[in-house]
Amino acid sequence: MATKKQIYAVLASTVIAAPILFTSPVSAGANTNTIFSKLERQLSVNRIIKDIERLSMDELLEVNKDNARVTGFEGEHEAARYIQGQFDKLGLSTDLLTIDNIDGFIDEGSTCTVDESSITVKTMTYSQPTNETLEGELVYAGLGRVEDFQEGSLDGKIALIERGEISFGEKAKNAYAKGAKGVIIYNNTSGMLNGTLGSLEESKVPTVGMSSEDGSKLVDRLEAGETVKASLKVDTQVRKDSYSYNVVGEIAANKGVKNPQTIVIGAHFDSVSCPGANDNASGTATILEVAKLLSQPQIKSKLQYNVRFVAFGAEEIGLIGSKEYVDQLVKSGEAENIAGMINLDMVGTGDKLVTYNLNDSADHKMTDIAETSIKELGYTYGGHYNSGSSDHAPFEASGIPAVFIQVDKDPYYHTDEDTVDKIDPFNIEMTSKVVLDMVMDMNNKKPQKLDNKIQKTDMLYENQQMPRQ
């Protein structure tokens, strides 16, 4: 198939031969393609990388970069104000929507030692801290269901529990009810276990994750009748009853368009306790650049759709920002007028574009448009998957067509190594062009009457483990 670049080459030579083609009012497609190639030339990957740097390093942030934009903390709030400032500068109509009742949690690190050698563990989100180091005998407690605990109390002991079947929060609560003073949950697939207890209310006892490899070695020793003593230290910072923001910036469609539909382009800007350059300063900075390009007067005047940019807060603690945003869209009836949502999350590392929908039954209209753009631009397409782990999910769960675009894969996900030097400018270029091309392709056609099957979103998604089990 001819790539778009090749098509432009052909078009460019046609311009010289037959310029009339481009002045004809019916040749909207050719016209839009001309716009796209102009946007392509104007795109500045450097500007995007600069913004990723600002959002993930100490300069912008009052907090340390290892806690760059943690949900509910000052770094996140500062990032929200920066994003709104950028939308403002572009002349977009902006809104800073407050999200209340957020419990902020920072993992300051945890350690575990057995027989004087240390085993890597990862603090469960919303775990209690230990204050001092805990010392205690390890007790194996299966899957941590009520029936998995043996007779007698676990007073002063540390429960070792396998991942699976019930939530991490329930396992920790059950162990706490038996008197355990610490909980280790080990993975049931290879590698480290990184999870959340769900909320501060669920938090009763210091709880950490461990790899399946380390966990099953300890279980083997306990099953062989050995007494194994462990020590555990968990450091955390909490900010109870805090808040977060969704930041909105909108470019209105050309005034001549009656009742224009809206395209939403979103990315979450909060982070876990890490620099969060790829997750998700990359998506945030990319939507800022797309907003800059599309807000130019000569482009804006050709828009048939409102293009609304939404930077979501509180994603990392359970998609809270996007859920609240979508709930509002549904309540106000606006959800019926959203032509589609494009979600960018982790678009800077790896080497191939992938797309996700919440599930097979969701409307794949936006995914089809994304796939067409990826292929026409000649980029490597890594395929389509199901996922409920980012901000497209609440949109799809409520019946708004959406697509989550990511660049696969990120080996530094949710670690202190998620820094700007890992961002590959080519991935940023690829993602920006795909988004611009999608908008231009939609804009190029007559908007269809929408038939969004809107439903209320007071949901935990049926096919999603949240909090993770």
Residues that bind ligand BES (CB under 6 A): 279-280, 315-316, 318-319, 345-346, 389-390, 406, 413, 466
CB half-sphere exposure, 467, CA atoms < 13 A: 22
Give min distance, CB of 267 to Zn ion, in A. 9
Q: Which of residues 2-61 bind Zn ion (CB under 5 A)?
A: none
For residues 322 to 361, the per-residue mask of contacts with Zn ion, x marking binding by CB under 5 A and - elsewhere, is -----------------------x----------------
402 binds, among ligand BES, Zn ion, none (CB under 5 to 8 A by kind): none
Give min distance, CB of 319 to ligand BES, in A. 5
| C-beta of 331 vs 409, nearer to ligand BES | 409
Residue 279 near Zn ion by CB under 5 A: yes
Distance separating alpha carbons of residues 11 and 19, to the nearest angstrom: 10
Distance separating alpha carbons of residues 452 and 231, to the nearest angstrom: 54
Tokens of 177: 């009810």
Give min distance, CB of 374 to ligand BES, in A. 17
Of 272, 225, 254, 226, the C-alpha closest to 124 is: 272
Q: CA dihedral in degrees (221, 225, 226, 228; nearest 10)?
A: 80
| C-beta of 242 vs 295, nearer to ligand BES | 242
| C-beta of 170 vs 316, nearer to ligand BES | 316
Give min distance, CB of 65 to ligand BES, in A. 18
- Residue 84, by phi and psi: left (phi above 0), alpha (psi -120 to 50) or beta? alpha
The window from 47-55, 57-65, 276-284, 297-305 that contacts Zn ion (CB under 5 A) reads 276-284
Of 145, 220, 224, the C-alpha closest to 178 is: 145
Distance separating alpha carbons of residues 164 and 22, to the nearest angstrom: 61
Of 140, 125, 169, 146, the C-alpha closest to 230 is: 140
Residue 334, helix vs strand vs coil? helix
Give min distance, CB of 468 to ligand BES, in A. 6
| C-beta of 30 vs 466, nearer to ligand BES | 466
Alpha helices in 201-259 (DSSP H): 212-223
Angle 181-185-186 (CA atoms, 0-180°, nearest 5)? 145
Residue 107, helix vs strand vs coil? strand
413 binds, among Zn ion, ligand BES, none (CB under 5 to 8 A by kind): ligand BES
| C-beta of 319 vs 370, nearer to Zn ion | 319
Tokens of 166: 């019930």
Residue 280 near Zn ion by CB under 5 A: yes
Residue 76 near Zn ion by CB under 5 A: no
| C-beta of 130 vs 349, nearer to ligand BES | 349
214 binds, among ligand BES, Zn ion, none (CB under 5 to 8 A by kind): none
Q: What's 348's DSSP letter? A: S
319 binds, among Zn ion, ligand BES, none (CB under 5 to 8 A by kind): ligand BES
Which residues of the shown chain bind Zn ion in the complex (CB under 5 A)?
Answer: 279-280, 345
